[in-house]
Amino acid sequence: MKKILKYLFFISIPVLFVWLMYFLYEKSASKPDVFLVEKAKKQTILKKTVANGKIVPRKEIAIKPVVSGIIRELYVEAGQQVKKGDPLAKIQIVADMLSLSNAEARVKGSEIAVQNAQLTYDRNKPLSDKGVIAASEMQGYDIALKNAKQELDAAQESLLLVRDGISRSSAGNTVVRSTISGMVLDVPIKEGNSVIERNNFNEGTTIATVADMTDLIFQGKVDESEVGKVKLGMPVKLTVGAIENATWDAALEYIAPKGVEENGAIQFEIRAAVSQKEGQTLRSGYSANADIELDRRDSVLAVPESIVEFNKKGDSAFVNVKNGEEWKKTWVKTGLSDGINLEVLSGIDASTELKGAKKEEEEEVKMSVGSE
C-alpha cells in the first residue's frame, strides 16, 4: 500500500506542474480588445460660460431724512407698494438747546424792535398829517416798521423750524416721503428710534429702502479667462436656485472695464436685463446662475469628443474608422466643441463607423453609475 501511495505521489508532481504551467500561460495570454462602434449624429452644439450672481432691482433707493429726531409714526412696512411722494414716516424734532435758545432770543429781540418802530411811527404820524414833518421823513419811519415786522416773522419761522421742524408756509421736513414709486423692500427702523439727518459729514439713517421691482437685472461676475469671449447683447439664460424647473431670458447689457481681485482671481462684473415671466415673482437678492451663450451650431454633424485624438501640436485631429476587422486612422476637420460633443466639418459622414471606448471600460462605467 505504501509503495502505491509513493508511486502516486511521484506521478502527481509532474501532472500538477504541467497544469500549473498551462494555467499561468492562459492567465498571461492577452485577449484581443473589443471596442464599441460610434457614429456621427446631427446635434446642436452650444458653447457657453457660467456666471454666478444675484437678482437685484435696477433702481433701489435708500430713503433718508433731512432732519434729526425720533420716529413718531411709521406709515409703511416691507412688501407694501408706494408711489412717489407717499409718506413713509413722521419725525419728532429734538431741538438743539443752543439753537433753540438763539431762536427764542431772536424772536424776543424782533418783538422789541417792532414795538419801538410802532411807537416811533405812531408818534410821527399825526405830525406828518399836519405837515409838520416832511413826507420823505415819514416814509423812513414806515419802512422801518415794515422791516421790523418782517424780521419778527422770519424769527418766528426760524423758531418753528428749530423747535418743531415745520413752518407756517409749508409742512416742513418732519414727514419723510418716498422719492420713487415701487415696493418697500426693507424698513430697518421702528417707532421710537432716533434718526440722524443726511449731510456732508454723515450719510444719515435709512428710513426705508424702496425699489422698482418691475425692472430687474442679473448682477454677477465673470472670470478674466472668459470675459474676452462675452459681448454686449449676448443672450443669457438665468436659473434661480430658489425656484426649480424655471428659467428666465436676459440680455447682457454691461461688462465692467476694470476687474477686481477675489481669492487670487480677477473677476469682471456683468449685468443683464431680466425678462420677467407672468405669474412668477422674482425677489430681490435671489442667487442665480447665468448661462451666457458664446457660440452655437444647430443641426451639425458631431461626435463624442472622447473618441477624437489630436496630434502633438494640437492643430490636427483624427478618428479611427472601421476598415474590415481593423481600424484606420482618418484625419478630420473639427469645429465647435461644448466639452462633450465636437462638431465635424469634413472627413467622415453619418454612416462612418468609428472606434469608441473599450467594452470593458464601458461596462465598468455603467456599474459605477448604477452603484451610485
DSSP secondary structure string for all residues of 283-322:
PTT-EEEEEEEEEEEEEEEEEEGGG-EE-TTSS-EEEEEE
For the 45-56+215-371 domain, the top CATH level (class) is mainly beta
| pLDDT value of residue 172 | 56
Query: 81-82 and 60-63 as β-strands: parallel, antiparallel, unpaired?
Result: unpaired
| 292-314 pLDDT per residue, tens | 988 888 888 998 888 888 887 76
Q: What burial class does residue 89 get, using C-beta atoms within 10 Å of its C-beta: 0-12 exposed, 13-18 middle, 19+ buried?
A: buried
Q: What burial class does residue 99 get, using C-beta atoms within 10 Å of its C-beta: 0-12 exposed, 13-18 middle, 19+ buried?
A: middle
| pLDDT value of residue 201 | 83
| 62-94 pLDDT per residue, tens | 999 988 888 989 999 999 999 999 999 988 877
% residues pLDDT > 70 (the chain): 87
- The C-alpha cell at 27 is 492567465
- 3-class secondary structure, 368: helix
pLDDT band at residue 353 under the 50/70/90 scheme = confident
**Residue 300 CB: number of other CB atoms within 10 A?**
18
Q: Are 289 and 239 in contact (CB under 8 A)?
A: yes
| CA atoms of 235 and 224, how far apart (whole Å) | 19
Domain pair 45-56+215-371 / 60-211, same fold: no
pLDDT at 364 over 60: no
**Residue 364 CB: number of other CB atoms within 10 A?**
12
The domain ranges of the chain are 45-56+215-371, 60-211
| pLDDT value of residue 238 | 93
Closest Cα partner for 174 from 158, 185, 163?
163
Q: Are 353 and 307 in contact (CB under 8 A)?
A: no
pLDDT at 189 over 90: yes
**Dihedral sign, CA of 211, 216, 222, 227?**
negative
- The C-alpha cell at 118 is 410802532
**Dihedral sign, CA of 272, 275, 277, 281?**
positive
List Cβ neighbours of 181 (8 Å cut-off, separation of 6 or more): 82, 83, 84, 212
| CA atoms of 116 and 236, how far apart (whole Å) | 78
| CA atoms of 326 and 355, how far apart (whole Å) | 10
Is CATH 2.40.50.100 correct for 60-211?
yes
| 229-287 pLDDT per residue, tens | 899 998 899 999 888 888 899 999 999 999 999 888 999 999 999 998 777 788 999 99
Q: Residue 168 gets which letter from DSSP?
A: S
Closest Cα partner for 54 from 292, 284, 293?
284
**Residue 250 CB: number of other CB atoms within 10 A?**
25
% residues pLDDT > 90 (the chain): 31
Q: How many residues does the chain have?
A: 372
pLDDT band at residue 171 under the 50/70/90 scheme = low
